[in-house]
A = this chain, B = another copy of it.
Amino acid sequence: MEIAILGFGNIAKGVEELIFKNREKIKNITGKEVFVKTVLIKDTIKKREPFDKNIYFTDDFSKILEDKDIEIVIELTGNLDSAFYYISESMNKKKHIITANKAVVSKYFYKFYSLSLENNIAFLYEASVGGGVHIIKSIIEDLPINDIYHTRGILNGTCNFILSSMKDKDLSFDNALKLAQELGFAEIDPSDDILGLDTRRKLKILSSLIFGKKIDEKDIFTQGISKIKSIDIDILKDRNLKVKLIGEASRIDEKYSINVMPVALKQESIFYEVDNELNMISYSGNNISEVFFLGKGAGRYPTADAVLRDLIDVLLRNYIIFNPIEDKKINLSNDILKSSFYIRIPKECLSLIKDIIKEKIEYKDYIIAFTKEIKLSDMENLINKIDSDDYFFARISKE
């Protein structure tokens, strides 16, 4: 079976390597010989060093689209608009799709499932959430027999690494980010990670799947970690609390809450020791209670491994062609989530929080407070009134 890979970055190189090195084993298991025939790249002059020397590199997508022998397209560009074009066109040509591109999967989730159903081909995206943490297939397999009502997780290794480094190495946010960049855990432009957008995409994919309805990315309450300072880490640390960026989606009595924000965890929390670049994701269903998956959320080989598992499923025809999503939008509510919060705001904003304060600390030009239990919507109103970008808050986890 002939494959095309779109893109030849870090993950794509790993995928090409694993396909090349495991060809014999894959044949033993699936009975099928696979090889990468064509790779789509932008720069045709740059020297490429694939393991399989017969690969044809091209910047012309039609060479893949019109090639009837290519039955599987592995999309690894990381781009949004062009990836949508590549994927949808390939699906219309009845080519199976495997992708690690969370941005495009998140945005066009419903559309891709519709195209998969229409064209009777696989649409697999295990690598788009959690890298080496293989959770998507597990959810899909539990869907027919469980009422899945909850998912949560540390979904972004970059943020987790930065927060761990700030706490354990006493680094400032900027220095922790720099370290993450040096070690390859953060991109040169880290905004999607530190603003929580990457976590939001992954959470949208997970919650679309479990709730079976359309979700608008922009409806998801999202607060990243870019505003955190060492003082926040230190004060929370003194109380044995550790901050993690957590995405969480719940359905309670047919009301839906989906949000991304920093959460201060107690030591007893199962997420507490999930540090550095690790991801941990869970889902809860009526049979299984909460099940957790933990591992490396990114990186060449863990992510390539997820792609290869999808590939083997295509070869074995181990996939279900269905659209898990109704053509119906979820109305999200920030009224459902009630919690105490840690909050740091400029001194002059004290009046905004005076009715909800449980405990107050003055620090330099800030008021730092622990609040009573309030609704997330109240917190949202509150931060919208702060006339400054210089604030931080974290939900205090009940466990």
Which residues of A come within 8 Å of B, CB atoms? 18, 22, 25-26, 28-29, 132-134, 138, 141-142, 144-146, 267-270, 272-274, 282, 285-296, 301-302, 304-305, 308-309, 312, 316, 318, 320, 322
A139 CB, min distance to chain B CBs, angstroms:
11
Closest to A24 in B: B144
The verdict on A144 contacting B22 (CB below 8 Å), with A320-B29, A322-B29 known, is: yes
Q: Which 9 A-B pairs have the closest CB atoms?
A: A291-B295, A292-B294, A287-B305, A287-B301, A132-B288, A318-B318, A25-B144, A29-B144, A145-B308
Output the residue of A28, A274, A282, A294 with the most chain B CB within 10 A.
A294
Q: Let me know if B273 and A301 touch, CB within 8 A.
A: no
User: Chain B residues near A267 (CB, 8 Å)?
Assistant: 267, 273
Closest residue on chain B to residue A271 by CB atoms? B273
Interface on chain A toward B: helix, strand, loop, or mixed SS?
mixed
Say how far A125's CB is from chain B's closest CB, in angstroms: 16
> How far is the CB of A255 from the nearest CB of chain B, in Å?
23
User: In the assembled complex, which residues on chain B have CB atoms less than 8 Å from the CB atom of A146?
Assistant: 305
* Pair A144/B291 contact, Cβ less than 8 Å: no
**B316 engages A302 (CB within 8 Å):** no
A105 to chain B, nearest CB (A): 20
Contact B138 A287 (CB under 8 A): no
Question: Given the complex of chains A and B, what is the CA–CA distance between A331 and B316 in angstroms?
Answer: 34
Q: Kindly report which residue of chain B lies nearest to residue A18, judged by CB atoms.
A: B145
Instruction: Tell me, rounded to whole Å, the shortest Cβ–Cβ distance linking A142 to chain B.
Output: 7
Can you list 28 A-B pairs with a CB-CB distance of less than 8 A? Answer: A18-B145, A25-B145, A26-B145, A29-B322, A132-B287, A132-B291, A134-B138, A138-B138, A141-B309, A145-B309, A267-B267, A268-B273, A269-B273, A270-B273, A270-B294, A272-B273, A285-B305, A286-B301, A287-B301, A287-B304, A287-B305, A288-B296, A288-B305, A291-B295, A291-B296, A293-B294, A316-B318, A316-B320
Cα–Cα, bound, A134→B293 (Å): 10
Q: Chain B's nearest CB lies how many Å from the CB of A18?
A: 6
Query: Are B274 and A302 in contact, with the CB atoms below 8 A?
Result: no
Give 10 A-B pairs besides A273-B273, A289-B302 with Cβ atoms closer than 8 angstroms: A22-B145, A29-B320, A134-B291, A141-B309, A145-B309, A268-B273, A270-B294, A286-B301, A287-B301, A316-B320
